[in-house]
Structure 1
């Protein structure tokens, strides 16, 4: 095991010339660098954040969002639904309404709600988007405020999302262990700048505030294009590819990190094309309608709806940021 660890963390691959792991493990007095052991704090903290999310969705916003819940369970109607028919005709509706002393329309509404029970309700989607909005806003605000305290250089279909996850998690983990957390935090700050705006647009859409939804969609699109197509390549990539070359020179992991950063930029271009195409459709139709929203959210957040990987990816970043108070000093200045 020791031999495998020594091979994987080979200094000639991960570090610039004339830099060793000992330099990072034993820095000058008053200076602390990130350590690989810090990443293990993600495990207990992830459980804590998951518990906060459950409380947040079920008890905080559930009681205040003002969106109707599902119909209450009814033993008689449930038996009819499971053993007789899921879509009763007028004869069944009249019989059930007399048996329950309900209006026929109320019985019909119950069956409609029951048929949709396995689908995510607007209430459920609203609470989930509210959590994502709050979470993304918190990690972006925290990261931005933290980065202001240090001097900086002037310097997301399945396959696409899977590639994005591999690149992002690899960058987060290895850049932190390798003490390149400053540029790593800048990359994630740029990415998080637009996510909470998209969730805010979804919230407005679920709450039927169409004009607010349209406005937030426009703001999201503008911020997305500026951060992913301007700030990221012009400042971040310029620093990691050219300025770092002049300061520390290339080394094996330098090529790996910049390759992953370029992969992200290719994905940015693909997503920007999808968003621009949807924005054009929206302008031609005069509003960002329900179908347009569905297309956007499916294209950009496809994997977020199907799995929790992106959510935990950002949770992992948030935990890493919390765990380091002096780790944002990269190997190049």
Structure 2
């Protein structure tokens, strides 16, 4: 283990040239530098955040949902009880192919389209209710808004907010302040809680992308803390927090059926997302990490890894921007945000029921549940 630790914490990888761990181990009295061991405090904090979330959703979000007449029942049409189809659904497949459908049609003397509809309704029965989605979004809204407000208030007084060259002055001998520590560890604790809860939360079609995103984010926060890139890291977190609460607010109004407000908030979210992720992030953040840092401290192995992780985030920003642009365009042209390509609720190509009740024919209706996730 000792040899593995020495290999992992190799100074030539983590630190700039002519800097050693010993140089950072004994700072002046009253001065503290970031240490990798500090990151362990994020794990119990993640558990605490998850516990607070459960209490919040039960005692605050749920009563708010009931005041808005949002209840647990979200599937109006339930599949007719059928032991044969239920056995296939639970034991074999939830999406039978044409061959199996033909066999079931002969066995039950049912039309194939009727069997397909049964499976669609049965799958939708297992989907989370609107109440569950509302509570999840309300929790995220409160947390994202809190972190964005804290980040802005903290960074407003920091010189690197206004001149990114301060991210690299005297690097890596940059003092760890209590405000910066709390900002970092709270964000890391929250993302660790998402890493755990994403396996029990509402499943989205972009689950693999979100898993990669959470993994990259946890790695990036941990990595930047370990080699004291906290200043630029705090800017990255603030840029990402800027649009998140708007998305959650849009989803809440969608669940509450305030459609015009939903459309407005989603378009506002899209505008802020594009500005922060496609303009500020590359021109402000990537510019300083790729070019200003190159000039001031020069590249070294962990520098390359740090920037690679930032570029991975930028690729994900482009992917999400494409999805969000499609939804925003429909909101502007059609006047309603009603479809999300990543939705987790299915519909029939012949007839299906949306959350408002009426049957819609000859369309593929997907209930808008996640208007374009971005973190």
TM-score band, normalised by the shorter chain?
0.7 to 0.9
Which residue of the partner structure matches residue 199 of structure 1?
248
**Shift in CA distance, 150/135, structure 1 to aligned 2, threshold 3 Å:** same
**Shift in CA distance, 250/57, structure 1 to aligned 2, threshold 3 Å:** same
Count of matched residue positions in the alignment of Structure 1 and Structure 2: 267
TM-score for both structures, normalised by structure 1: 0.72
Local SS of the residue matching 2:32: coil
TM-score for both structures, normalised by structure 2: 0.65
Kindly indicate which of the two structures has a greater share of residues assigned to helix.
Answer: 1
Which residue of the partner structure matches residue 60 of structure 1?
60
Task: Report which structure shows greater RCO (CA 8 Å, sep ≥6).
Answer: 1
Question: Aligned to 2:291, which of 239, 242, 266?
Answer: 242
Question: Aligned to 1:139, which of 127, 136, 147?
Answer: 147
Cα distance in 1 for partners of 2:57, 2:328 equals 31
Which residue of the partner structure matches residue 224 of structure 1?
273
Q: Say whether 1:18 aligns with 2:90.
A: no
**Shift in CA distance, 53/266, structure 1 to aligned 2, threshold 3 Å:** same
Q: Is the 8 A contact 1:70 1:117 kept in 2?
A: no
Deviation string 1:271-312 (CA, Å, 9 cap, x unpaired) is 1111112222222212223568947755733xx9xxxxx7xx
Which residue of the partner structure matches residue 183 of structure 2?
none
Local SS of the residue matching 1:288: coil
**Shift in CA distance, 262/177, structure 1 to aligned 2, threshold 3 Å:** same
Which residue of the partner structure matches residue 129 of structure 1?
137
Shift of 1:219: 0.8
Q: Is the 8 A contact 1:139 1:192 kept in 2?
A: yes
How do residues 305-316 of structure 1 correspond to structure 2 at under 5 angstroms?
none
**Shift in CA distance, 195/297, structure 1 to aligned 2, threshold 3 Å:** farther
Unmatched segments (≥5 aa) in structure 1? 72-79, 87-113, 305-309, 311-333
RMSD across aligned C-alpha pairs, in angstroms?
2.9
Shift of 1:209: 0.7
Shift of 1:10: 0.5
Q: Is the 8 A contact 2:251 2:262 kept in 1?
A: yes
Which residue of the partner structure matches residue 3 of structure 2?
3
**Shift in CA distance, 131/260, structure 1 to aligned 2, threshold 3 Å:** same
